[in-house]
């Protein structure tokens, strides 16, 4: 494994292998690096006879999804869903540094097996996952020098596919390799509608909207992150990745030269380069790439209801003991006043807020380790005896413990590196912290991906959970390391402080970013405004922050947000005696069941969830007022439930400044035979809690 540290603003790479062994492997690799090019040049003077391509087909258990893999002069794959073409023949392969492109290939070995396993996940949007697919492992080899070999693994599910590469140990790549590109492509047959979040460059916090566009609008120099969601004549699909470990993260762009409007459009994988400039991936042979994932559905909500391919393809949990990891809601201090009045009393107030409402955590955010004049004091980070000028940390931790609440501590990643990871973990474990919120990494290059894994692995040794901010999208790490409890990588509610988070964006997220996994959206603002009355904080110091949409919309976002650490943003004084707040009392952060009922991307979303014996349902809409119907056939037959409903009033969409804060709270008895009518004003929402009588 390769890890990195930050020294004087320069990212330095260091190896964790024994130095002599690592140097021996790299020297051996460098001695052979030019061999493939030399052999290829020699082969150019030979007569080569191309053979017919060999085609292997892998079908999902029901046969509804099929992939054809062609091996010959080129490597390609194609995809059909219920008899309709999703992808025409599309390129496969990898490109290695200082080596020619892969030549003509032949199949050296092929094996097929069925996977049908069920596993439990107590920290997710559903508690049980079924991994049911047909897996084909295909080993291919060049028919001429340098005779390189490549293993490709294909999985066909009834609601999607996954594929990955394995670079086996071989004479042409002795010991190690440098990868310059992943050549996987997705050749769509039309210029379909898509939702793409172009970050404009590598190494960002991945906090942008997913605007609707055409595939031809994605340029060949784009940086469209996962997921790329596409709607065509086949239905819907989402391009993602899974099991990103010790590799470079992926973006999407058009093939060189771009795609013509109205015509077939091909999308290519684009890997983030290494920080040291040595290609994109430096690994020893035997390494496995992340999975390239395509989920499929007839309707947009089918993508939300996917069987869980991203998690199913991720490496299973590597931690021996996970009993100490727990999900829950968290109060938070950064949303209000930019923490300009952060002190022991205000921290205690947020501890009280959490304790009174069944929330397990409070998050102590930036700038807690500055003194009263906001001067940075690094000793505050790991030494409670020094205090931090405005907060008595020993008193705060003791108070939190007495209330049954645990504290999560924010830290800039550079300060974390400066203090030392082990020193910090040891101190925070001793203090009784629940975990850390580490921020501003803003990169998914290989060095940073390895740094991320190293952090969560070592944090687990100290029973600390990690919430990464300034972070790339999820790829299933929450299965491999469950103490990575959530992450950002989302245009979240905090942007209402200095930009805007529109209800349209909120209605896009269930069908885009949250398909990848948890996203710390930080919902729950109670200063609710229609967009024409929304305001931004001035220099982050305006006493209160506003949230676009109605009060009922804000509550619905607390339900819709997928995050095992559910950060609820507003202050105790903004929640005090406010109508609708009772919805947030004892709100679960993880679920036994989640079902998307209806919705269109960027328009509206309706779903229900189950936690134990209690059901919740929620809906949101964009700028259009909307009426929906929710059949209650998910409730137990023959049982009567009390439905507590939180909904917009007629005035919630009105012209006055505070109209959006108006909310109605109703109760009625219902059974599984009933259908509820849902009425939402513009930028509105609706939620209900169903409790068996």
Burial class (CB in 10 A: 0-12, 13-18, 19+), 654: middle
Q: How confident is the model at residue 636 (pLDDT cuts 50, 70, 90)?
A: very high
Residue 375: alpha-carbon gap to chain centroid: 34
The number of CA neighbours under 13 Å toward the Cβ of 601 is 27
Per-residue pLDDT at 30: 43
- The rounded mean pLDDT for the chain is 92
Q: Are 221 and 366 in a shared domain?
A: no
**Secondary structure class of 422 (helix, strand, coil):** helix
Other Cβ atoms closer than 10 A to 395: 14
Higher pLDDT: 631 or 37? It is: 631
Question: Number of folded domains in the chain?
Answer: 4
d(CA 386, CA 406): 21
Instruction: Answer yes or no: is 104 within a domain.
Output: yes
Phi (first) and psi of residue 110, to 5 degrees? -150, 130
d(CA 465, CA 462): 9
Q: Are 223 and 264 in a shared domain?
A: yes
Rg (CA), the chain: 26
Per-residue pLDDT at 390: 79
- The arithmetic mean of pLDDT across residues 395-405, rounded, is 97
Phi (first) and psi of residue 37, to 5 degrees? -65, -40
Say if residues 520 and 467 touch (Cβ distance below 8 Å): yes
Maximum C-alpha span of the chain: 84
Instruction: Check pLDDT > 80 for residue 11.
Output: no
Instruction: Check pLDDT > 60 for residue 188.
Output: yes
Say if residues 159 and 49 touch (Cβ distance below 8 Å): no
Burial state string for 437-455 with b = 16 or more CB within 10 A and e = fewer than 16: bbbbbbbbbbbbbbbbbbb
pTM for the full model? Answer: 0.92
| Sheet of 435-439, strands arranged across | 484-487, 465-468, 435-439, 406-412, 361-364, 328-332, 565-567
Query: Sign of the C-alpha dihedral, residues 511, 512, 516, 522?
Result: negative
Instruction: Answer yes or no: is 585 within a domain.
Output: no
Structure tokens of 312?
């199913």
Q: Are 58 and 87 in a shared domain?
A: yes
**CATH code (residue 57):** 2.70.98.10
Q: Are 166 and 237 in a shared domain?
A: yes
Q: What is the DSSP letter of 5?
A: E
Structure tokens of 262?
């109205």
Element (H, E) at 591: none
Say if residues 602 and 508 touch (Cβ distance below 8 Å): yes
Instruction: Answer yes or no: is 573 within a domain.
Output: no
Q: Are 512 and 614 in a shared domain?
A: yes
- Tokens 């439930």 sit at which residue? 641
Per-residue pLDDT at 368: 85
**Secondary structure class of 333 (helix, strand, coil):** coil
Instruction: Answer yes or no: is 451 within a domain.
Output: yes
Question: pLDDT tens digits for 427-474?
Answer: 999 999 999 999 999 999 999 999 999 999 999 999 999 999 999 999
Among 459, 489, 519, identify where a domain stops.
489
Instruction: Answer yes or no: is 581 within a domain.
Output: no
**Secondary structure class of 468 (helix, strand, coil):** strand
Say if residues 537 and 498 touch (Cβ distance below 8 Å): yes
Question: pLDDT tens digits for 461-502?
Answer: 999 999 999 999 999 999 999 999 999 999 999 999 989 999
Say if residues 359 and 353 touch (Cβ distance below 8 Å): yes
Per-residue pLDDT at 52: 84
Burial class (CB in 10 A: 0-12, 13-18, 19+), 68: middle
- Tokens 């409790």 sit at which residue? 691
Instruction: Answer yes or no: is 642 within a domain.
Output: yes
Other Cβ atoms closer than 10 A to 97: 15
Question: pLDDT tens digits for 227-285?
Answer: 999 999 999 999 999 999 999 999 999 999 999 999 999 999 999 999 999 999 999 99
Query: Sign of the C-alpha dihedral, residues 521, 527, 533, 538?
Result: negative
- Angle, CA 687 vertex, CA 489 and CA 207 arms, to 5°: 10
Q: How confident is the model at residue 9 (pLDDT cuts 50, 70, 90)?
A: very low
- The arithmetic mean of pLDDT across residues 568-583, rounded, is 97
Q: How confident is the model at residue 386 (pLDDT cuts 50, 70, 90)?
A: low
Per-residue pLDDT at 243: 99
Q: Are 279 and 182 in a shared domain?
A: yes
Q: Are 483 and 504 in a shared domain?
A: no
Phi (first) and psi of residue 496, to 5 degrees? -65, -20
Phi (first) and psi of residue 351, to 5 degrees? -65, -45
3-state SS of 475-503 is CCHHHHCCCEEEECCCCCCCHHHHCCCCH
Phi (first) and psi of residue 591, to 5 degrees? -140, 155
Q: Are 132 and 82 in a shared domain?
A: yes
d(CA 688, CA 211): 30
Q: How confident is the model at residue 385 (pLDDT cuts 50, 70, 90)?
A: low
d(CA 334, CA 537): 12
**Secondary structure class of 471 (helix, strand, coil):** coil
Instruction: Check pLDDT > 50 for residue 161.
Output: yes
Higher pLDDT: 47 or 574? It is: 574
Q: Where are the beta strands (DSSP E) in 143-208?
A: 149-157, 160-166, 176-182, 185-188, 193-195
Q: Are 17 and 149 in a shared domain?
A: no
d(CA 335, CA 169): 51
**CATH code (residue 508):** 3.20.20.70
Instruction: Answer yes or no: is 510 within a domain.
Output: yes
Q: Are 508 and 527 in a shared domain?
A: yes
**Secondary structure class of 313 (helix, strand, coil):** helix
Structure tokens of 157?
């599910």
- The arithmetic mean of pLDDT across residues 630-650, rounded, is 99
Among 313, 335, 369, identify where a domain stops.
313
Structure tokens of 34?
């030019």
Per-residue pLDDT at 19: 41
Q: Are 171 and 286 in a shared domain?
A: yes
Q: What is the DSSP letter of 661?
A: G
- The arithmetic mean of pLDDT across residues 361-389, rounded, is 71
Q: Which domain holds residue 24?
A: 1-32
Residues above pLDDT 90, as percent of the chain: 84
Instruction: Answer yes or no: is 10 within a domain.
Output: yes
Question: pLDDT tens digits for 309-341?
Answer: 999 999 999 999 999 999 999 999 998 866 677
Q: Which of 282, 312, 318 is nearest to 126 (CA)?
A: 312
Q: How confident is the model at residue 541 (pLDDT cuts 50, 70, 90)?
A: low
Q: Are 65 and 11 in a shared domain?
A: no
d(CA 357, CA 364): 18
Q: Which long-range contacts (CB under 8 A, 24 or more apart) does 6-9 make?
A: 6/413, 6/414, 6/417
Among 464, 489, 514, identify where a domain stops.
489
Structure tokens of 21?
């062994």
Q: How confident is the model at residue 369 (pLDDT cuts 50, 70, 90)?
A: confident
Residues whose CB falls within 8 Å of the CB of residue 680, separated by 6 or more in sequence, listed in order = 552, 553, 604, 619, 620, 621, 625, 626, 627, 628, 647, 648, 686
d(CA 623, CA 549): 9
Q: Which residues pair with 629 in a beta bridge?
A: 677
Separation in Å, CA 409 to CA 155, 365, 382, 417, 437: 40, 6, 11, 15, 6
Per-residue pLDDT at 341: 78
Residues whose CB falls within 8 Å of the CB of residue 103, separated by 6 or more in sequence, listed in order = 40, 43, 142, 143, 144
3-state SS of 592-607 is CEEEEEEEECCCEEEE
């Amino acid at each position: 494994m390769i890890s990195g540290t930050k020294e004087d603003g320069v990212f330095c790479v260091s190896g964790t292998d024994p130095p002599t062994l690592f140097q021996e492997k790299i020297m051996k690799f460098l001695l052979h690096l030019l061999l493939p090019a030399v052999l290829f040049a020699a082969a150019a003077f030979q007569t080569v006879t191309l053979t017919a391509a060999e085609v292997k087909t892998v079908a999902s258990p029901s046969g509804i999804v099929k992939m054809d893999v062609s091996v010959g002069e080129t490597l390609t794959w194609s995809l059909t869903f219920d008899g309709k073409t999703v992808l025409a023949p599309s390129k496969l392969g990898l490109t290695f540094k200082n080596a020619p492109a892969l030549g003509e290939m032949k199949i050296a070995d092929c094996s097929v097996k069925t996977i049908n396993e069920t596993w439990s996940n107590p920290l997710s949007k559903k508690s049980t996952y079924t991994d049911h697919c047909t897996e084909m492992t295909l080993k291919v080899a060049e028919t001429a020098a340098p005779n390189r070999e490549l293993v490709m693994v294909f999985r066909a599910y009834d609601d999607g596919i996954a594929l990955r590469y394995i670079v086996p140990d071989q004479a042409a790549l002795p010991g190690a390799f440098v990868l310059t590109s992943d050549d996987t492509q997705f050749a769509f047959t039309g210029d379909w509608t898509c939702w793409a979040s172009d970050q404009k460059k590598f190494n960002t916090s991945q906090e942008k909207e997913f605007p609707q566009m055409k595939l031809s609008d994605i340029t060949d120099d784009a940086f469209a992150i996962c997921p790329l969601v596409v709607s065509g004549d086949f239905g819907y699909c989402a391009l993602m990745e899974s099991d990103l470990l010790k590799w470079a993260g992926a973006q999407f762009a058009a093939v060189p030269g771009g795609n013509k409007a109205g015509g077939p459009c091909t999308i290519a994988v684009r890997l983030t380069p290494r920080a040291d400039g040595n290609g994109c991936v430096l690994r020893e042979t035997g390494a496995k790439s992340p999975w390239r994932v395509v989920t499929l559905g007839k309707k947009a909500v089918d993508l939300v209801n996917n069987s869980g391919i991203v998690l199913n393809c991720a490496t299973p949990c590597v931690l021996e003991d996970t009993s100490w990891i727990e999900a829950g809601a968290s109060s938070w201090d950064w949303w209000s006043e930019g923490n300009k009045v952060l002190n022991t009393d205000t921290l205690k107030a947020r501890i009280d807020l959490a304790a009174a409402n069944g929330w397990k955590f409070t998050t102590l955010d930036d700038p807690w380790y500055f003194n009263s004049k906001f001067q940075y004091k690094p000793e505050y980070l790991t030494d409670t005896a020094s205090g931090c000028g405005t907060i008595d940390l020993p008193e705060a931790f003791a108070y939190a413990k007495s209330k049954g609440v645990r504290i999560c501590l924010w830290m800039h990643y550079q300060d974390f590196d400066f203090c030392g990871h082990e020193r910090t973990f040891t101190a925070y474990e001793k203090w009784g912290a629940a975990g850390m919120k580490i921020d501003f990494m803003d990169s998914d290059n290989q060095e940073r991906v390895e740094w991320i894994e190293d952090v969560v692995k070592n944090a687990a040794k100290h029973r600390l959970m990690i919430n990464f901010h300034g972070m790339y999208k999820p790829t299933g790490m929450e299965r491999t390391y469950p103490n990575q409890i959530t992450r950002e990588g989302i245009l979240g509610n905090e942007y209402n402080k200095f930009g805007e988070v529109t209800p349209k964006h909120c209605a896009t997220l269930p069908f885009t970013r949250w398909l990848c996994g948890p996203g710390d959206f930080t919902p729950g603002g109670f200063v609710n405004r229609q967009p024409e009355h929304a305001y931004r904080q001035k220099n982050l110091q305006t006493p209160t922050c506003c949230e676009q949409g109605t009060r009922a919309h804000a509550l619905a976002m607390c339900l819709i947000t997928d995050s095992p650490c559910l950060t609820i943003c507003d202050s105790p004084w903004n929640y005090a005696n406010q109508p609708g707040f009772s919805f947030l009392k004892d709100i679960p952060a993880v679920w036994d069941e989640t079902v998307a009922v209806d919705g269109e991307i960027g328009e509206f979303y309706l779903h229900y969830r189950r936690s134990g014996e209690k059901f919740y349902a929620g809906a949101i809409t964009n700028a259009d007022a909307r009426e929906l119907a929710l059949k209650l056939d998910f409730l137990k037959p023959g049982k009567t439930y009390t439905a507590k409903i939180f909904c917009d009033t007629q005035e919630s969409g009105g012209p006055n400044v505070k109209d959006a804060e108006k909310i109605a709270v109703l109760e009625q008895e219902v059974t599984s035979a009933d259908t509820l009518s849902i009425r939402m004003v513009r930028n509105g929402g609706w939620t209900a809690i169903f409790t068996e009588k």
